[in-house]
């Protein structure tokens, strides 16, 4: 098999070329969707961390506030 003879009409070759272009477009679309999902996942994790830190800050502020109120009440007692 030193030589492979392709006796394809030009229309078939062009049709296959169009198929390759469509396949390439689909691969690019999948890559874009993958990058978009990775970006969303990264930012959703960031939102989770910010929400958690906000919760910790709220709890800490509440504890400090009630501790301060308790100290003021204790100072007013004889």
The predicted pLDDT at position 42 comes to: 81
Placement of tokens 């396949």 in the chain: 23
Largest Cα–Cα separation, the chain: 109
Question: Percentage of the chain surpassing pLDDT 90?
Answer: 22
Average pLDDT on 31-59 reads: 84
CA 35 from chain center: how many Å? 8
Q: Say whether pLDDT at 76 is over 80.
A: yes
């Amino acid at each position: 098999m030193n030589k492979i003879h392709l006796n394809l009409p030009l229309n078939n070759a062009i049709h296959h070329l169009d198929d390759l272009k469509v396949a390439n477009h689909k691969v690019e679309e999948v890559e874009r969707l993958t990058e978009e999902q990775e970006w969303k996942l990264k930012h959703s994790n960031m939102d989770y961390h910010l929400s958690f830190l906000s919760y910790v800050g709220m709890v800490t502020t509440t504890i400090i506030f009630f501790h301060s109120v308790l100290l003021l009440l204790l100072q007013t007692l004889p």
